[in-house]
Structure 1
Amino acid sequence: MAIKQLAGLDASFLFLETAEMPMHVGALHVLELPAGFKGSFLEALRKHMRTRMPHLPALRRRLAAVGLNVVNPAWVDAEPDLEQHIVPVALPAGSGMVALEEAVARLHPQLLPRERPLWKFHVFEGLAPSPDDGATRVALYTQLHHAAVDGQAAVALAAVILDLTPVPRDMPARPPRKRHEPGTLSLLRGALLHQAKQYMNAARALPGAIGTLGASAGDAAGALLGLLRGKSASASPLKLAPRTRLNRSITAGRSFATVSLPLAELHRLRKVHGASLNDAVLFLCGTALRRLFLDWHELPKKPLVAAVPVSTRAAGDTASNNQATMSTVTLGTHIADPQKRLAHVLAASAAMKSSLGTLKDLMPLDFPSLGLPWLMEGAARLYGAASMAEKLPALANVAISNVPGPQVVLYLAGARMITNYPTSIAVHGMTLNITVQTYGDSLEFGLMACSDSLPETATLAAYLREALEEWRGMAA
């Protein structure tokens, strides 16, 4: 693998990471072992990963600092020690989902060592057997640094690691790669060439960016004028979020909960109301959050606002990097009537989609980084230490991400994967992250929050189930 300096967006996840704000993503999988399985699943998984590792370059690279860390680091070749990257976690015998969720909440704040490839797999043993047929169960919690992958890149990695049958497929042989350990001068030369290229690209893109910014400013000014005149702007993406307990500085503790909802029924309900699956996710999350804020007697008069990552990845692109931008959408949480709340979400979602072309043009994936590591790392530490999240206006209350996933049953080292709950990032000023991914015949929710501001993720998961019940009643 050639030396490759991290793109600006990828490197940002490194610079913003602190002890309170780890920047890795992953998933919690419950797995059922095949009948008659003997031995250790941990060892079976290590053996399996050795066979797949030649096809997983994103897991065989580490960071190398460049020029006293004044520019983005580079990826260099590194063969992972699977004894360190795939590790056992013992749970009390007979453990279930609650114990797994608590274990993930404890493990999630642990930072990935920067001197190794930025990933780690935790294998849980001690789970209760399947309630259906008594099959032996284990679980896997994966950590992948966001500097290396975004949601869809993680799905592409899973496509290499997982199989469609209990018998792992044969992978085409690849010749051993010649390890390349670059010297300091080589790294610095590559970084300087990359910086020069980025400045040239920025100069070429400047005229178009100015035009796009002008058009965006005009749209924003029109929306703002409408707001000042008292016109309804429920569908406008120009919204500040109400300040809530979710808009605080984050601490190192985490709360994590999961929920699976039936995908076929969600598709039936969304079609009845002319909604997309993403609209359905926003409506269900908004409904559950409304109920939680009512419990707290803290429901804002203004609607809660969700920050929604939007992929800019081209179809078929499986590169292991970040290709996404961010938009916002209001959730209608101030509306008691569920039909009107759904109508609000549909209108807000349509307004968000209409602005995506501009957002994609304005959000570069790479940009000059000279001095940025020091600047961003210092700013991240200062932001948390000075409790800036409590002082600045809130742009969003919650992150809600919907990542397309496989709708077939998959297997890992011969074990059938039962669940695929995403685990993602909570940040200063937005201490709750709800990430959703389709798997098999379910829509899998992973709720990750700062435990100081939201210890009740299990309650929120229960309210997501109740939100689906409410939607069923609307369609009756």
Structure 2
Amino acid sequence: MGMRQLSGLDATFLYLETPEMPMHVGAMHLLELPAGHRGRYVNDLRRHIAARLPATPVLRRRLWWMPLNMANPAWVDAEPDLNEHIVEIRLPSGSARRADARTLMEEQVSLLHPVLLDRHRPLWKMHVIEGLPRSAAGRKQVGLVTQLHHAAVDGQAAVALANVLFDLTPEPRDIEIRPSRRTRTFRLDMVEMLRGALSHEAVQVARIVRDLPATLGTVAGTAKSALSVKNLLGQGSGNVTLAPATPMNATVTPARAFAAASVPLADLKALARVHGATLNDGVLMLCSSALRAYLQQHGALPRKSLVAAVPISLREAGDTRADNQASMSLVSLGTHLADPAKRLAHIRAATGAMKSTMGRMKSILPTDFPSIGVPWLIEAAASLYGKAKAAERLPQVANVVISNVPGPQVPLYLAGARVRSNHPTSIVVHGLALNITVQSFDAAMDFGLMADAAALPDVRALAQAVDAALDELRALPVPAAPAAVKPGPVSRKRPASRAAAPKKKPRAG
């Protein structure tokens, strides 16, 4: 078996990680147990994951570091201890009377997210939360907070993993697992590491040299279009511009504040359709309206539009590999526009401009690159950036990260429990202290708002503003459909260009 060294993009999430910037992603699930359920759900989940482990290689590997951290680490096989990776948290007695299930879960995510994953083990963990109030049907509910390091997966790779772990019925399905023929590797010796790292470097350098002419041509054409006079004068989409200063553009601390929101998926789809927008435009519109209202309430709304950093997938259809294949684009949110109709039109123009630019760039954006010496460079730069509070000193290109990940639009079950919600939990970094990740699930669009606790301690108010933003979108007048033109009688007259000119009237004397 060849050495499976992490790609440059995957490894970057390791090098950027500090106590202030945990680099794991996951979700906050609310689970409803079947009627008459007995025993501890954490044991049900451990048995379920144990049965699915052969089909989930991302859960069965750990990092193996290069000598002196000189290049990207590699993945080696590992046997996860499910008693360590799937743990139970019991809320204090009376918690169910103090708050609703979502609020209690949000509090747990805020506490758990700052804790870094153990790099000596496979980079994932699941927390089962006991002590939640019962559901409206009177059934027992438990919470589940999942954590998976971003070095292992991006949003779509996490969805592919979920497709293996979750079921469409309460009764778990049988998964056909073919025995693997490859030799399992639990450790790498020095010679293999050095040979593999140098071979990987040579391949990357050769690829860059080979693709350089096409890459330069694509970049030049895209830059010429994006940096046109119209855009530079601020008359274009507003994507190519520096972002205004906001409370979100701050150096982050180790503390987190998390909040969730949900809107009906069918409603958002219908509203987007009648306004000639995409579902993603609808998501950006809700975020834009909520941010505008929140910042206005706090007296911090800039006169210039906020800019969102929007991840775009570089993944080919059907690719379910557990790695990162994504890049980042910029979209102006139109928060400077008070008129919701004009704001939606601004967002549609901004996303259209982004798609036009990124469509040409997707083919040449790298997810892997030479890495010798890169670990030292990135780790030093990340540390210096935080300690120098550069986020407050340097201009920013974006104010917030907004990610929309397509998810399953059907009911799901996990170890026999019905999944009632699926709110993503993502990362914040220096200069971008708010991350809004959205995923379609069952009949809802579930929003997960992760914020630095010092920058946005009341992030729950922002989540509540998403509901008000949906009402604002509902209130927009529906554009009139173009009137159908009835075909008239065919004219037999000569074209006007051939007709005799009318005689001039005599001028009045």
Shorter-chain TM-score: which interval?
over 0.9
Which residue pairs with 2:269 in the alignment? 267
Distance across 1 between alignment mates of 2:65 and 2:116: 18
Q: Which residue is equivalent to 2:176?
A: 172
1:198 lines up with 2:204 in the alignment: yes
C-alpha separation in 2, matches of 1:453 and 1:266:
29
Task: State how 1:250-329 maps to structure 2 within 5 Å.
Answer: 250-329=252-331
Counterpart pick for 2:165 among 153, 161, 185: 161
Which residue is 2:13 aligned to?
13
Provide, for residues 314-366 of structure 1, a one-character-per-residue CA deviation record: whole Å limited to 9, x for no partner.
11110000011110111110111111111111111111111112332442010
Percent of aligned pairs with the same amino acid: 55
Query: What is the aligned counterpart of 1:232 among 220, 227, 235?
Result: 235
Greater shift after overlay, 213-222 or 95-104? 213-222
Name the structure 2 match of 1:105. Answer: 110
Q: State the structure with more CA Rg.
A: 2
User: Cα offset for 1:3?
Assistant: 2.6
Assess if the C-alpha contact under 8 Å between 1:24 and 1:143 holds in 2.
yes
For 1:371, the aligned partner's letter is: G
Deviations 1:281-322 (A, max 9, x none): 000100000001101111101000000000011111100000
Q: What displacement does 1:98 show?
A: 1.0
Partner of residue 140 from structure 2, selected from 126, 136, 140: 136
* Residue 155 (structure 2) aligned to one of 134, 151, 155: 151
Q: Aligned residue for 1:207? A: 213
Q: What is the distance in 1 between the residues matched to 2:179 and 2:342?
A: 60
Give the CA deviation at 1:117: 0.5
Aligned counterparts of 1:354 and 1:236: Cα–Cα separation in 2? 14
Separation in structure 1 between the aligned mates of residue 179 and residue 334 of structure 2, nearest angstrom: 56
3-state secondary structure, aligned to 1:419: strand
Q: Which runs of 4+ in 1 moved over 4 A?
A: none
Q: Which amino acid aligns with 2:111?
A: R
| Partner SS, residue 315 of structure 1 | coil
CA RMSD of aligned residues (A): 1.4
Between the aligned partners of 1:82 and 1:3, the Cα distance in structure 2 is: 26
Q: Secondary structure at the match of 1:216?
A: helix
Q: Match of 1:121?
A: 126
Q: Residues 231, 296 of structure 1: CA spacing in aligned structure 2 closer, same or farther, 3 A cutoff?
A: closer
1: CA distance, partners of 2:358 / 2:318: 20
- Evaluate the alpha carbon distance shift between residue 231 and residue 294 of structure 1 in structure 2; reply closer, same or farther with a 3 A threshold: closer
Q: Aligned partner of 1:140: which letter?
A: L
2:386 aligned residue: 384
Moved more, 360-369 or 311-320: 360-369
Query: Secondary structure of the equivalent of 2:359?
Result: helix
Q: Deviations over 1:189-244 (max 9, x none)?
A: 1111111111111111111122122223322442xx3356x4622x1431211111
- Aligned equivalents of 2:125 and 2:178: distance in 1? 24
Q: Of the candidates 246, 249, 252, which is equivalent to residue 248 of structure 2? A: 246
Q: CA deviation at 1:430?
A: 0.6
Number of residues of Structure 1 aligned to a counterpart in Structure 2: 471
The aligned amino acid for 1:106 is L
How far apart, CA to CA, are the structure 1 residues paired with 2:231 and 2:150?
A: 37
Distance of 1:355 and 1:258 partners within structure 2: 32
- Which residue in the other structure is 1:188 paired with? 194
Contact 1:5/1:72 (CA < 8 Å) preserved in 2? yes
Select the residue among 389, 413, 436 that pairs with 2:415.
413
Amino acid at match of 1:117: P
TM-score normalised over the length of structure 1: 0.97
Q: Give ranges in structure 2 of 5+ residues lacking alignment.
A: 479-509
**Given that residues 269 and 475 in structure 1 are in contact (C-alpha distance below 8 angstroms), is that contact kept between their aligned partners in structure 2?**
no
Deviation at 1:278, TM superposition (A): 0.2
Query: How far is the alpha carbon of 1:97 from its aligned partner?
Result: 1.4
Distance 1:249 1:121 in 2: 28
SS in 2 for 1:474: coil
Aligned mates of 1:106, 1:121 — CA distance in 2: 14
Please give the secondary structure, in 1, of the residue aligned with 2:79.
coil
Cα pair 1:325 1:359 within 8 Å, conserved = no
**Following the alignment from structure 2 to structure 1, what is the Cα–Cα distance between the partners of residues 32 and 161?**
21
1:81-120 CA-to-partner distances (Å, cap 9, x unmatched) read 1011001111134152111101101100111111111000
Structure 1: any 5+ residue segments left out of the alignment? none
CA distance in 1, matches of 2:325, 2:442: 25
Partners of 1:166 and 1:71 in 2: CA distance: 45
Q: Is the 8 A contact 1:10 1:148 kept in 2?
A: yes
- Kept in 1, the 8 Å contact 2:231–2:238? The answer is no
The reply on whether 1:401 has 2:403 as its aligned counterpart is yes
